[in-house]
Structures are given as C-alpha cells and as structure tokens.
Amino acid sequence: TWTPTAFVDTTVAVLQEQLGNDKVVLGLSGGVDSTVAAILLNKAIGNNLYCIFVNNGLLRKNEFESVLHQYKDMGLNVKGVDASERFLEALKNESDPERKRKAIGKAFIEVFDDEAHQVKDVDWLAQGTIYPDVIESVSVNGPSVTIKSHHNVGGLPDFMKLKIVEPLRMLFKDEVRRVGKEMGIDPELLGRHPFPGPGLAIRILGDITAEKVRILQEVDAIFINGLKKWNLYDKVWQAGAILLPVNSVGVMGDERTYEKVVALRAVESTDGMTADWVNLPYEFLQEVSNHIINRVKGVNRVVYDISSKPPATIEWE
C-alpha cells in the first residue's frame, strides 16, 4: 500500500540518484504542488535546487511577502522576483480574457527565463506537475505542464530546453497534501484554496490598473479573512472576489456616489470541473458586505454569485 512516508523515502533516493550534483531550477507559485515538489527536491539535493518565486503583482494582498518569508523559513534556496510593474505594463489596455492570459503567460516566461539564466550550469527544470495535469495535457506541449500551450509564444525559451524532473507526476492532489504533511509543511499552506495562475487579472473584468488591483486585493482579503474567522474557509473549495466593470449609484451622507460593484464567489467542488455555489450564512454575508463597503474606498455595492457550474464557470472570465 502507498504511504506518504515510503513515498518520501523512495523519491528522495531516486532523485539523488537521478540528479547527483546537478543544478535544478523550479518556479514556486505559492500553491500546494510547487511547494511540495520543492521541499521534496530540497530534501534530496539541498541548495542545488534554485527556486524562483515571481510576483506578478496579481496575487492576493501581502501574499508575495508572506509566502516568500514562509519559503525561506522552510529552508528553501529561493529568490523572490518582484515583476509587478512588468506584468502591469504587459496588461495595459487589455480587456480580452484570453489576451490577458497570453500576456501574463508571456511575461512570466520572459521573467522566468531571465532568472533561470542567472543560475550557472543548470541542467534541470523541476515542475510540480501532478497526475491530473499529466492526463489533461498529453499532446499539448510535451511534459511541460505548468506552462500551458497558450502561454507558449514563438520559439522555446531556454529553460524549456532543460531536462524535466516532476517528482509528483504519479500523485493525486490528496496524496500531494499527505506527502506535504509528512514533510512538515504548514497545514494552512497545504489547505489553501486553488488560485488561478493569471491571478486577479481574470477577476478584474475589463482593463487592469494598479488602482483596480489594490481595490480587489482589499475586498478579497476581507472576504477570505472573514471565511477563516467564521470557520467557513475549509468548507469551501474556492472563493474570491470579482471587480465588475460597472459603477452603480449609492448614497453617502447627503452625497450621491457612483462607484464600483464587487461580486463575491464561493464554490464547492472536487476538481473544478463542476461546482455548486455555497450557501453561506446571511449573517456572514452581511458582516463581510458591511466591512467591504465601509473600508474599501471606491466600492459601494456587494453582490453574491449564486450560479453553479455548469453553465456558469467558476471564474467570470
């Protein structure tokens, strides 16, 4: 029978045999898969694993700093690269969802390639690919899974010519979590909701500005912290806020306001392929809505999304 302990022991031995003294680069995302892959490789080859954590400026509030700190505490050899400005520039005046994704993918590849070049004599690219990704991506562009086909632009960047090592490619998500727990990774990190690679860019409908990102980060933080405070976070598969491209009329004192609307979304799911909206308590929604409207300047209306997938997708774009 499969046990996380046996998996860790065997995999570390196999990786040591396979990698010897070679150098490996790995992109950390803050998510479960890349983190578990990194810790496993770190156990096997120590500082010959060079982790790169890119801030695309589209992460949750304070996420880059706090996760980077956590990675360092775990003993990873990690470099944090703040490329927020570069991504914002790449997204300028872009409203189309797929073009946003492409722009982000392209910027990521460029930043990652630059960083990978700074590691002298690197031989391997490690990825946190898990079994469902393997199935999903056969025939797309070979073994490179975290970087999907639509992110691939022109010729292959150099880091994609590296040999690939994917220590989690035979595991399902729950097994990845068990392996992470076995290696002492913070349960909070292991229990995190999924978060899309393009981040808040696909939750800001329409074009993206630094101010809109800031507003959405504030709203999202109030919602997510509220879920944690009310012990609802672990009952939800994924949650987040969407900044809508409409203004609505409101009133503050004797002034009329004309400000942004945000939608809150929380779903139950097992794999994201289908999803049901979560019946969150009215008292919770009331508290969160009040906090958002009172504390986030520029927002005067909050709505809750009660659509299930299909036909509505989880993200709004």
Cis peptide leading into 4, omega within 30 of 0? no
Burial label for 232, CB within 10 Å (0-12, 13-18, 19+), is middle
- Can you tell me which of 27, 39, 59, 101 binds ligand XMP, judged by CB under 6 A? 101
Q: Quote the least distance from Cβ 174 to ligand XMP, whole Å.
A: 16
Binding segment toward ligand XMP, per CB under 6 A, in 118-126, 194-202, 228-236, 285-293 = 194-202
- Can you tell me which of 196, 206, 250, 298 binds ligand XMP, judged by CB under 6 A? 196
**Residue 34 labeled ligand binder:** yes
Determine the 3-state secondary structure of 284 from DSSP: helix
Cα–Cα distance list, 6 to 80, 183, 246 (Å): 32, 12, 54
- Can you tell me which of 48, 152, 217, 238 binds ligand XMP, judged by CB under 6 A? 238
Is 61 or 101 the residue whose CB approaches ligand XMP more closely?
Answer: 101
- Can you tell me which of 50, 197, 224, 233 binds ligand XMP, judged by CB under 6 A? 197
| 60 counts as binding ligand XMP under rule CB under 6 A | no
Binding segment toward ligand XMP, per CB under 6 A, in 44-52, 135-143, 195-203, 253-261 = 195-203
Strands (E), the chain: 23-28, 49-55, 78-82, 122-126, 163-165, 238-252, 255-268, 276-277, 299-304
Helix ranges restricted to H, 1-73? 4-19, 32-45, 63-73
CA distance linking residue 288 with residue 77, whole number of Å: 38
- Can you tell me which of 198, 200, 212, 242 binds ligand XMP, judged by CB under 6 A? 198
**Residue 206 labeled ligand binder:** no
| Helices 173-182, 4-19: crossing angle, 10 deg rounding | 80
Binding segment toward ligand XMP, per CB under 6 A, in 111-119, 189-197, 204-212, 282-290 = 189-197
| 314 counts as binding ligand XMP under rule CB under 6 A | yes
Q: Quote the least distance from Cβ 275 to ligand XMP, whole Å.
A: 7
Read off the tokens for 23: 């150098």
| 94 counts as binding ligand XMP under rule CB under 6 A | no
CA distance linking residue 265 with residue 248, whole number of Å: 19
Is 74 or 303 the residue whose CB approaches ligand XMP more closely?
Answer: 303
CA distance linking residue 89 with residue 201, whole number of Å: 12
Is 196 or 298 the residue whose CB approaches ligand XMP more closely?
Answer: 196
Reported for 207-212, long-range contacts at CB under 8 A and 24+ positions apart, including other chains, are: 207/91, 207/92, 207/93, 207/94, 207/95, 208/88, 208/91, 208/92, 208/94, 208/100, 209/88, 210/57, 210/88, 211/298, 212/243
CA distance linking residue 197 with residue 59, whole number of Å: 9
Q: Quote the least distance from Cβ 206 to ligand XMP, whole Å.
A: 17
Binding segment toward ligand XMP, per CB under 6 A, in 8-16, 120-128, 182-190, 193-201 = 193-201
| 31 counts as binding ligand XMP under rule CB under 6 A | no
| Strand 23-28, strand 255-268: pairing | unpaired
Binding segment toward ligand XMP, per CB under 6 A, in 36-44, 196-204, 214-222, 280-288 = 196-204
Q: Quote the least distance from Cβ 104 to ligand XMP, whole Å.
A: 8
Binding-site residues from annotation for ATP: 29-35
Binding-site residues from annotation: 29-35
Residues found near ligand XMP in the complex (CB under 6 A): 101, 194, 196-198, 238, 272, 309, 313-315
